[in-house]
Amino acid sequence: MAMAVDAQQKKKAAKAMLKYATGKHWDPSDCPDWKPQDYSMSCLSRTILKDPPPGIVVIPDKSDMTQLHALITGPDDTPYEGGIFRFFIRCPPNYPIHPPRVKLLTTGNGVVRFNPNLYSNGKVCLSILGTWEGPGWVASMGLASLLISIQSLLNDEPLHNEPGLEKESLSPIGRPEVEKYNAYLVHETLRVAVCDTVEMCLAGSLNLEIQEVVYEYFMNMFDHYVATAEKNKCKDGQLLENFLVACGMCMKKTDKFNFASLRLRLNSLKSQILARGLCQEPSTASCLNLMEYYIHV
Domains: count for the chain: 1
Predicted TM-score (pTM) of the model is 0.84
Closest CA relative to residue 192, chosen from 100, 252, 89, 262:
262
Would you say the C-alpha torsion 162, 164, 168, 171 has a positive or negative sign? negative
Question: Which residue range forms the structural domain that includes residue 178?
Answer: 19-292
- State how beta strands 84-90 and 64-73 pair: antiparallel
HSE of 1, CA atoms in CB hemisphere, 13 A: 0
Q: b/e for 146-159, b at 16 or more Cβ within 10 A?
A: bbebbbebbbebbb
Domain annotation covers residue 60 = yes
Which residues are marked as active site? 125
Instruction: Report the C-alpha gap between 90 and 61 in whole angstroms.
Output: 10
Q: What is the CATH number of the domain that holds 78?
A: 3.10.110.10
pLDDT digits (tens, 9 = 90+) for 237-248: 998 876 555 444
Among 65-69, 85-89, 218-222, 255-259, where is mean pLDDT lowest?
Answer: 65-69
What integer pLDDT is reported at residue 257 of this predicted model? 94
Angstrom distance (rounded) from CA 224 to CA 222: 5
- Whole-angstrom distance, CA of residue 51 vs CA of residue 108: 29
